[in-house]
A and B are shown apart, each in its own frame.
Chain A
Amino acid sequence: MAMAMLETTGLCKNFGALEVAREVNFRLEHGARHALIGPNGAGKTTFINLLTGVLSPSRGSVMFEGEDVTALAQAKRVKRGIVRTFQINQLFRGLTVLENVCIAVAERFSVGGTMVRPAGRRAEVIEEASRLIEMLKLGGDAGRRIIELPYGRQRLVEIAIALGLSPRVLLLDEPAAGIPSAESHILLDAIATLPKEIAVLIIDHDMDLVFRFAERITVLVSGAILAEGTPAEIAANHEVRAVYLGSALDA
């Protein structure tokens, strides 16, 4: 089997007696469009935290392009290209859109700790940030502070920041959460037009989004993988329908 972009083997995490990840064996292929679904409390966000290094697993390993990154700190994983967005916006709310993206780009260019040259003279940082902002059609809001923007536009800034880190693996935690459906197409278009070399894992409840976007789906229930396959296979899986899709589709 070819080397996966991101792979977990026997990944376990427990908080005391509570097992939030149980023997998770998961592969994210190069250029994947993969979705992770599961009912509330299935451990989806915990899984993201294990992949990004926010939490360290109780057992098991995380491999990134064949290298063991299980013990690697979050910041170092980001430098390698494991990047996430948050279910709830995590932005610099008092700063402008441009400043938000610039902070991320400065870290990627490893100039975030430089003390003498004004941030405003880092033309390469500002240009790259501006390019991403234009790409997400946020150009008109670049000079506005986050708190002045509607939630849907803020959501796009989350994506812009993530792209500013030049991801190789992009973990999108409920990217469409909180966006009015009339505005969600901008976000979905942005996700659909992501470069193919970025492997994308999307975590969501929105079945329309998942089935439209994903080429593979993994179903997580109570911290363990219940099923994995193509959207058609998952849709036809009786077990999945019983524990998850059934209730979601009925709703």
Chain B
Amino acid sequence: MTAARQLAERHRFRWWELVPWIAGVAVFFAFPNYLSFGTQVLITILFALSLDLVLGYAGIVTLGHAAFFGVGAYTVGMMAMHWGWNEPLSGLVAAALVAGAIGLASGLVLLRTRGLTLLMLTLCTMALLEQAANMGAAWTGGFDGMPGLSFGKILGLFSFDAIYFRSQYLYSLVVLLACFVLLRALIYSSFGQSLTGIRENLLRMHAVGAPVRARLVAAYTISAALAGLAGGLYTQTTGYVNLSVLGLERAAGVLIVLILGGYGRLYGAFVGAIAYMVLEHLLAKAYPTAWQLGIGLTLMAVALYARNGILGLGDALRRRFGAGGIR
């Protein structure tokens, strides 16, 4: 039966899935002066991917995902500042663990609710953490944050490159690849399928005997850990951390990235992050005072004409001209 074969082959890697990684390496050689910017794009992709798991797949509407990015960023920053813990990889693991733990704890409480209540509670959680970071100045540096952090060599071999960001870029690319492979497997697993089920029809998912809340909490925890990892990467590659890592602006930004690229479809995070950040970069260069107007107009166009983001637009075209879409 063809449907069964389709399902059995759905998780296989296809040739075009190599494209982002080839492009990632190509950028390294083609734009050596833009690797600092490129590193930020890679981190944003990872952050947006973590959001896609909860928002795009599980259908958990959150406006406070930067909470976990921030927790990861501060974890790495505080460990470096107070304990002199500069080893990068273990720092990332710590960021993921701490953010995951906070995701688990808040998820157990928050995910009893849905819709607008959930939205407000995710926002509140983030605001609480933001205030904690602001007020705990002895630990977090308060409003000024922690500037001038330095980190050890990656794997004891590659030191962070203060001028061209070469090692930061490749380091971020490899971490992104590792997280992506993990997340991709998760999406195509039975667990991932059941998250889609929860998003599509909660009532039905209860009626097939699925432990819905446990699944949601698990997804939320994993997503928080990945967001924390992205945050940790941010602190390590920039060498500083301040309140901007867990504000509403960052939370809304990553949401916009995901909506722009297309949510619930793995590669939306890639397309969205690149489109958003490149657009922002070019607009800021051309119109230093009014660049946000351009972003706003783009978002309006997406909201009006491309509900499923840029990739969704591609799908619509492909459907019009025959073959199936990228899911």
Contacts and interface: CB of A to CB of B under 8 A. Distances in A.
A74 B76 CA distance: 43
B262 interface: no
Interface string B203-242: 1111111111011001000000000000000000000000
A118 B185 CA distance: 7
Contacts of A99: 7, 193
Interface string A154-177: 000000010011000000000000
Given A78-B209, A108-B209, A120-B9, A91 B204 contact: yes
Contact of B200 (A94, A126, A161): A94
A78 B197 contact: no
Nearest to A73: B211
A97 B190 contact: no
Contacts of B9: 120
B4 interface: yes
A108 B186 CA distance: 20
A106 B193 contact: yes
B204 A119 contact: no
A93 to B, nearest CB: 6
Interface in B22-37: none
A112 B191 CA distance: 5
B189 A116 contact: yes
B178 interface: no
Interface string A66-93: 0000000011111100011010001111
A164 to B, nearest CB: 8
B7 to A, nearest CB: 5
A142 interface: yes
Contacts of B164: none
A1 B203 CA distance: 36
Contacts of B206: 54, 74-75
B6 interface: yes
Question: Most chain-A Cβ atoms within 10 A of its Cβ — which of B2, B3, B204?
Answer: B3
B56 to A, nearest CB: 12
Contact of B194 (A75, A90, A112, A139): A112
Interface bracket on A: 35 or more
A181 to B, nearest CB: 26
A124 to B, nearest CB: 12
Interface in B170-211: 185-186, 188-194, 196-197, 200-201, 203-211
Contacts of B3: 96-98, 130, 142-143
Nearest to B214: A113
Contacts of A122: 190
A107 B194 contact: yes
Interface in B1-18: 1-4, 6-11
B185 A74 contact: no
Nearest to A88: B203
A103 B208 contact: yes
Contacts of B186: 115
B263 to A, nearest CB: 13
A78 B204 CA distance: 12
B200 A95 contact: yes
Given A86-B207, A130-B3, 13 more contacts: A74-B206, A86-B204, A91-B201, A92-B197, A103-B197, A107-B208, A116-B185, A119-B7, A120-B188, A126-B7, A130-B1, A143-B3, A164-B208
Interface of A: 52, 54, 74-79, 83-84, 86, 90-99, 102-104, 106-108, 111-123, 125-127, 130, 139, 142-143, 161, 164-165
